[in-house]
Amino acid sequence: MKTRRRKEQRFATDINHQLSKTIVAQAQRTDRAIAKDLSGIRDQVRLAKKQRAQVHSWAYAQLRNFVTYKAEMAGVPAAVINPRNTSRTCSRCRFCDAKNRRSQAVFECQECGWTAHADHNAARNIAALGHENYWAAQSTVPIAATALAAS
């Protein structure tokens, strides 16, 4: 049993290294790596009984750590984005409503009428959030100065 467990660990680590290398290589072309926060993913996924052991034993934190350190070594900024409401928010007008998500595959904004594939819309929202977080982190304006300027 111990030998089998170690073999599975080495396999998962190898796959995570390969995935993180591919993600960082893709990010180098765009100068940015943005990842969805994978914490709690085991609770979000519904699977057949045969697939549960494979998904629930996967090292998501390890994958995130590999992407983070490889992106840092490559000089690519990496950000972890909270995916809350990204599939319900319109990537054009930013209107958020549960009714925007017609089905698992279709997104239709109730405000502006924009229609897109739901996953594509959510990916655009995650990219926009990552872009905002990146530029906020790059800002050289002190936070106190920003608060005083607003008042």
Q: List, for residues 8-30, the tens digit of each pLDDT value.
A: 889 989 999 999 999 888 888 87
Which residue has better confidence, 53 or 121? 121
Output the pLDDT for position 15: 92
Task: Quote the tokens at residue 136.
Answer: 């906020």
Q: What pLDDT, in 10s, does the model give residues 33-92?
A: 666 666 666 666 666 777 766 666 677 788 888 988 898 888 887 777 777 888 889 989
Residue 146 has a pLDDT of 47
Q: Global pTM? A: 0.59
- The closest alpha carbon to 76, from 26, 124, 12, 125, belongs to 26
pLDDT score of 22:
92
Bridge partners, residue 81, by sequence: 36
